[in-house]
Amino acid sequence: MKTPSKFLKLSSLLLLLYFGYSCSNEQETIQDNQLIETKEQQVARPGLKPIGSGVMMQAFYWDVPAGGNWWQTIQGKVQSWSNSGIDAIWLPPVSKAQNGPFSMGYDPFDYFDFGDYNQMGSVETRFGSKTELQSLISAAHGAQLSVIADIVINHNSGGDLEPNPYTGNPYYTDFNPLSGKFYRSASDFHPNANCYSDSGTFGGFPDLSHCQPYVQDWLWKKSNSVAKYYKNVMGFDGWRFDYVKGFEPWVVKEWNNAVGGFSVGEYWDGNAATLDWWSGAAQSSAFDFACYYRMRDAFEGNNLNRLNDDMLWKRNSMKAVTFVANHDTDEIVNGKLLAYAYILTHEGYPTIFYRDYEEWLSKSKLNNLIWIHNNLASGSTNILYTDNDEYVAKRNGYNSSGLIVYINNSNSWQERWVETNWANTRIKDYTGNSNWEPVTQGGKWVKIHVPPKSYSVWAPK
């Protein structure tokens, strides 16, 4: 996540101090009758593509246009995305945040205000109204797409100033959301009587204390908790957990146990072993930052040998969510399409960034790579050759023939003999970058080639 432009309320608006302190456990609200859980609500919604069968779309970027039209913009694209092979869309944080109509949602204030309460300077969020969000989710489900909610539970923002009995200094921890759900006060943040701190704070925001039973109840345990309301009422199918370095992995594990659904954590670390540890402890997928940084070094640093290095997908492909860019980081520039050719032909669950797909790169080429991913890229992976400029790998196939991917970061055509899994078989380049259709030898060897600064993907014709 990025740091919002404003962390705390302007001091000129916060002259009143709250000398009365009330325990958050006394601030319960009446539970919604519609939120009684059933067994059916704990299983995947029927009619949707299985998450991981295709490709995830990150359906936003940092500072998308304000004005409350973003949900409608995305709704107009979900069917075409589904037709192209997308199986899920990841939305930005959907609830009202401190900066109201200008916020990207990463400074959360009221988890149950989806654009229908007049607070923090607006009724709608930056992205639109609750009705428009519900319409988008319904349209996505109609297009067989799952909808991933961005969950920000490390920190909160927008609370009023109140005395803090644990530090002796007043702090912005008095949260009185108009939704009437999940009031918070000093005991719900760090430090408090039970917990001094957890894994880390972010940007000076009040640090939510997950050790407190009241906080656990409102986040995932109660029948109208954030997790259960988002799933059972709003219709979300999975979770992207923001800044999971800020709290312990058991939080994600318990959330997942409470509501199920796909989940992926943003553990921003380039060490594959660390990502593997967090994924196992949280029982969740993780964004493969190790893969991202190795691709950056490979394609921007002109050293494709870096693709031999350790990555999460090589340790546990079922838990690796691969990406080339996102709303926070976009460092692969010159070799970006080559990087997409890499993640869309390799193991892991690939994500496409909205601006790459809709604005910056060739949509037809990305659609071609999505098709290749969904139809040819299966089975284990063998790296066949690497040097500074060339990379060749083989997918061995389990529900398809598999493929050979040849990536070339040099300024000239390259060709190479490779050993395939196919004997006496005519193959073709499914990207259309080459018009060769060679026949593999009886010993399964064949010569393939690739254009400069490009890629080719080979499989039986």
For residue range 49-88, what is the model confidence (pLDDT) as tens digits? 999 999 999 999 999 999 999 999 999 999 999 999 999 9
* Structural domain includes residue 175: yes
H-helix or E-strand spanning residue 265: strand 262-265
Do 262 and 313 belong to one domain?
yes
* Structural domain includes residue 281: yes
Do 224 and 342 belong to one domain?
yes
Q: Is residue 23 predicted with pLDDT exceeding 60?
A: no
Q: Is residue 6 predicted with pLDDT exceeding 90?
A: no
Task: Look over the chain and give the mean of its residue pLDDT values, rounded to a whole number.
Answer: 92
Confidence band of 44 (pLDDT split at 50, 70, 90)? low
Q: Is residue 12 predicted with pLDDT exceeding 90?
A: no
Q: Quote the pLDDT of residue 25.
A: 38
Do 359 and 321 belong to one domain?
yes
Tokens of 118: 């007049």
Confidence band of 399 (pLDDT split at 50, 70, 90)? confident
Instruction: For residue 88, give the 3-state DSSP assignment.
Output: strand
Do 401 and 313 belong to one domain?
no
Q: Are 366 and 352 in contact (CB under 8 A)?
A: yes
Per-residue pLDDT averaged across 140-159, rounded? 98
* Structural domain includes residue 5: no
For residue range 235-274, what is the model confidence (pLDDT) as tens digits? 999 999 999 999 999 999 999 999 999 999 999 999 999 9
Contacts for 357 with CB less than 8 Å, ≥ 6 apart: 57, 363, 366
Do 231 and 119 belong to one domain?
yes
Contacts for 398 with CB less than 8 Å, ≥ 6 apart: 378, 379
Do 127 and 189 belong to one domain?
yes
Number of domains forming the structure of the chain = 2
Do 429 and 368 belong to one domain?
no
User: What phi and psi values does residue 319 have, to the nearest 5 degrees?
Assistant: -115, 5
Q: What is the residue-wise DSSP string for 168-230?
A: SS-EEEEB--TT----B-GGGBSS-SS-S--S---TT--BB-TTSHHHHIIIIISTTSHHHHI
Beta-strand ranges (E) seen in 36-153 are 55-58, 86-90, 96-97, 108-110, 146-151
Burial classification of residue 192, based on how many CB atoms lie within 10 Å of its CB (0-12 exposed, 13-18 middle, 19 or more buried):
buried
* Structural domain includes residue 12: no
Do 75 and 112 belong to one domain?
yes
* Structural domain includes residue 321: yes
Tokens of 288: 């493969």
Do 208 and 154 belong to one domain?
yes
Question: Among residues 325, 357, 378, which one ends one of the domains?
Answer: 378
- Please, what is the angle between helix 249-259 and helix 272-282, to 10°? 40
Confidence band of 4 (pLDDT split at 50, 70, 90)? very low
Q: What is the rounded CA–CA span in Å between residue 352 and residue 348?
A: 13
CATH of the domain at 243: 3.20.20.80
**pTM for the predicted model, two decimal places:** 0.91
* Single-letter code of the amino acid located at 366: L
Q: Is residue 277 predicted with pLDDT exceeding 60?
A: yes
* Structural domain includes residue 67: yes
User: What phi and psi values does residue 194 have, to the nearest 5 degrees?
Assistant: -100, -30
Beta bridge partners of 162: 171
Q: How many CB atoms lie within 10 A of CB 201?
A: 17
Confidence band of 13 (pLDDT split at 50, 70, 90)? very low
Q: What is the residue-wise DSSP string for 316-338?
A: -GGGEEE-S--SS-----TTHHH
Do 371 and 414 belong to one domain?
no
* Structural domain includes residue 23: no
CATH of the domain at 442: 2.60.40.1180
For residue range 326-352, what is the model confidence (pLDDT) as tens digits? 999 999 999 999 999 999 999 999 999
Do 340 and 260 belong to one domain?
yes
Question: Among residues 378, 394, 416, which one ends one of the domains?
Answer: 378
- The residue range of the domain holding 449 is 385-460
Do 407 and 439 belong to one domain?
yes
* Structural domain includes residue 134: yes
Residues present in the chain in total = 461
Question: Among residues 348, 378, 408, which one ends one of the domains?
Answer: 378
Q: Is residue 36 predicted with pLDDT exceeding 60?
A: no
